[in-house]
C-alpha cells in the first residue's frame, strides 16, 4: 500500500479508501490509483470494478415504510436494498425511513425529508388529502413519488405498485367458502378507512361471498388499526359473542393477534383463517393448520420493478402516466410450506 501510495502521489489512507471501496473518494482519485497500480504491477481487478462503478450515474432512492418492528416491513426493506444494489447501470443509494405512526403527517414528514436528498421516492402510506397535496407539490418540484401496497395520492403519484386488492379479497372469499362447504358466520378485519387497499379487499371479499356463497353471513367489518394487541382482544371477543364463527379474514396487518387468539380458543381448522403476507408467524400457523391461506406480495419482484420505474422517472422527470402495476399474488396453503 505504501508503494502504491507513492506511485499514485496520494496518502496511504486514500489508497486504503480506494482499495476498500469506502465513500468520499472522487472518480479522478480512483483513476489515479488504478493507473498507478497497473504501472507497478499491483492487482487491479477490484480497482477496475470500482472505477467502473464510479463512472456510473449516481441516483439516490428514498423509501417510506410503516412499522419498522414488523417482520413484513423488515423483509420489505431488505428487498428494496437488494434491488437497488443489483442495478449495474447506476451507482444507486438507498435510504429507507419508517414513519413514526400511521398518521398522514408522519408519512409527509418523511417524504419531505427524503426529497431533500433523493431523486425519486416511494412510500407505503395511507390515503389522505394532505398526502395527495404533498405528493403533487413534490411532483411539481421534479420528485416523482410511487405508491406502494396502498394506492394513495391518485392523480398525483407516479404509479401504484402492489397487488390488485379487489382480486386479493375475492381470493380470500373463495378460500373460506371452499373450505367451509356450508353456511356460516364470517368476519373481516380492516386496518382503517384511510387504508384504501383494505377497503378494496373487503369489497372483493364481500362481492365473492355475495356471488358464490350467498348462504354465508358476513358480519360488519371491524377496525383493528393493523395492531397485534387490538386484533387479539377483538378476535377473542368475536369468538365469545359468536361461538359458531366459521371464517375470519384479516385484510391488513395484525394477523399475529388473530393467530394467537385462535390458538387459545379454537382447535386448528375450526375457523377458516385467511391472512396476508408470509412471515415466520404465518408460516408456522399454516404448518399447524391454524391458518388456511396466506396471500403474499412477491416483494423481490415488486422491488425490482419499482427500482426500474424509479430509474426511468428520475432520468425523465415525473409525468402524468399515473399507471397501476399489479403483481400476481403468491398463495401459500398448509400443504405448500
- Triad 189, 195, 199: Cα angle to 5°: 55
Q: Give pLDDT, residue 55.
A: 63
Q: Is the pLDDT reported for residue 45 higher than 90?
A: no
Q: Give pLDDT, residue 16.
A: 85
**Separation CA 73–CA 212 (nearest Å):** 34
**Separation CA 325–CA 337 (nearest Å):** 27
Q: Give pLDDT, residue 314.
A: 92
Q: Where in the chain is the domain with CATH 3.40.50.2300?
A: 58-163+298-328, 165-296
Per-residue three-class SS string for the chain? CHHHHHHHCCCHHHHHHHHCCCCCCCHHHHHHHHHHHHHHCCCCHHHHHHHHHHHCCEEEEEEEECCCCCHHHHHHHHHHHHHHHCCCCCEEEEEEEECCCCCHHHHHHHHHHHHCCCCEEEECCCCCHHHHHHHHHHHHCCCCEEEECCCCCCCCCCEEEECCHHHHHHHHHHHHHHHHCCCCEEEEEECCCCCHHHHHHHHHHHHHHHHHCCCCEECCCEECCCCHHHHHHHHHHHHHHCCCEEEEEECCCCHHHHHHHHHHHCCCCCCEEEEECCCHHHHHHHHCCCCCEEEECCHHHHHHHHHHHHHHHHHHCCCCCCEEEECCCEEECCCCC
Q: Give pLDDT, residue 53.
A: 58
pTM above 0.85?
no
* CATH architecture, range 165-296: 3-Layer(aba) Sandwich (3.40)
Look at residues 285, 288, 205 and name the one whose alpha carbon lies nearest to residue 250. 205
Q: Supply 87's cell numbers.
A: 442495478
Q: Give pLDDT, residue 38.
A: 85
The predicted model gives 246-251 an average pLDDT of 97
Q: Give pLDDT, residue 30.
A: 83
Q: Is the pLDDT reported for residue 51 higher than 80?
A: no
Of 149 and 39, which is predicted with more confidence?
Answer: 149
Q: Candidates 3.40.50.2300, 3.10.129.10, 3.40.50.620, 3.40.50.1240; correct CATH number of 58-163+298-328?
A: 3.40.50.2300
Confidence of residue 121 (pLDDT cuts 50, 70, 90): very high
Number of alpha carbons in the 13 Å side-chain half-sphere of residue 199: 10
Q: Give pLDDT, residue 160.
A: 97
pLDDT digits (tens, 9 = 90+) for 76-97: 999 999 999 999 888 899 999 9
pLDDT digits (tens, 9 = 90+) for 157-211: 999 999 999 999 999 999 999 999 788 999 999 999 899 999 999 999 999 999 9
pLDDT digits (tens, 9 = 90+) for 280-294: 999 999 999 999 999
Look at residues 293, 297, 295 and name the one whose alpha carbon lies nearest to residue 327. 297
- Mean pLDDT of all residues belonging to the chain: 93
Q: Give pLDDT, residue 49.
A: 59
pLDDT digits (tens, 9 = 90+) for 198-236: 999 999 999 999 999 999 999 999 999 999 999 999 999
Amino acid at each position: 500500500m505504501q508503494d502504491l501510495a507513492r506511485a499514485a502521489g496520494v496518502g496511504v489512507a486514500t489508497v486504503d479508501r480506494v482499495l476498500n471501496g469506502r465513500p468520499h473518494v472522487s472518480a479522478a482519485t480512483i483513476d489515479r490509483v488504478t493507473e498507478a497500480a497497473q504501472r507497478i504491477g499491483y492487482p487491479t481487478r477490484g480497482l477496475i470494478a470500482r472505477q467502473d462503478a464510479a463512472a456510473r450515474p449516481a441516483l439516490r432512492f428514498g423509501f417510506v415504510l410503516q412499522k419498522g418492528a414488523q417482520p413484513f416491513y423488515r423483509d420489505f426493506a431488505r428487498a428494496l436494498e437488494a434491488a437497488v444494489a443489483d442495478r449495474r447501470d447506476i451507482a444507486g443509494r438507498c435510504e429507507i425511513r419508517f414513519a413514526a405512526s400511521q398518521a398522514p403527517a408522519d408519512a409527509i414528514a418523511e417524504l419531505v425529508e427524503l426529497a431533500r436528498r433523493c431523486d425519486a421516492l416511494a412510500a407505503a402510506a395511507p390515503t389522505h388529502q394532505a398526502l395527495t397535496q404533498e405528493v403533487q407539490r413534490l411532483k411539481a418540484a421534479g420528485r416523482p413519488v410511487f405508491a406502494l401496497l396502498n394506492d394513495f395520492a391518485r392523480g398525483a403519484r407516479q404509479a401504484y405498485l402492489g397487488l390488485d386488492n379487489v382480486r386479493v379479497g375475492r381470493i380470500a372469499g373463495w378460500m373460506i367458502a371452499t373450505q367451509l362447504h356450508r353456511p356460516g358466520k364470517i368476519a373481516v378485519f380492516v386496518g382503517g378507512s384511510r387504508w384504501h387497499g383494505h377497503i378494496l379487499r373487503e369489497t372483493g371479499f364481500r362481492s365473492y361471498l355475495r356471488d358464490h356463497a350467498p348462504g354465508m353471513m358476513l358480519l360488519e367489518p371491524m377496525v383493528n388499526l393493523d395492531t397485534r394487541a387490538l386484533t387479539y382482544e377483538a378476535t377473542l371477543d368475536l369468538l365469545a359473542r359468536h361461538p359458531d364463527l366459521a371464517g375470519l379474514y384479516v385484510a391488513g396487518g395484525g394477523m399475529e393477534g388473530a393467530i394467537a387468539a385462535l390458538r387459545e380458543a379454537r382447535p386448528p381448522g375450526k375457523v377458516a383463517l385467511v391472512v396476508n403476507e408470509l412471515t415466520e408467524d404465518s408460516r408456522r400457523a399454516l404448518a399447524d393448520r391454524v391458518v388456511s391461506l396466506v396471500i403474499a406480495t412477491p416483494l423481490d419482484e415488486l422491488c425490482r420493478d419499482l427500482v426500474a420505474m424509479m430509474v426511468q422517472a428520475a432520468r425523465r422527470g415525473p409525468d402524468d402516466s399515473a399507471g397501476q402495476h399489479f403483481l400476481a399474488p403468491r398463495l401459500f396453503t398448509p400443504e405448500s410450506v
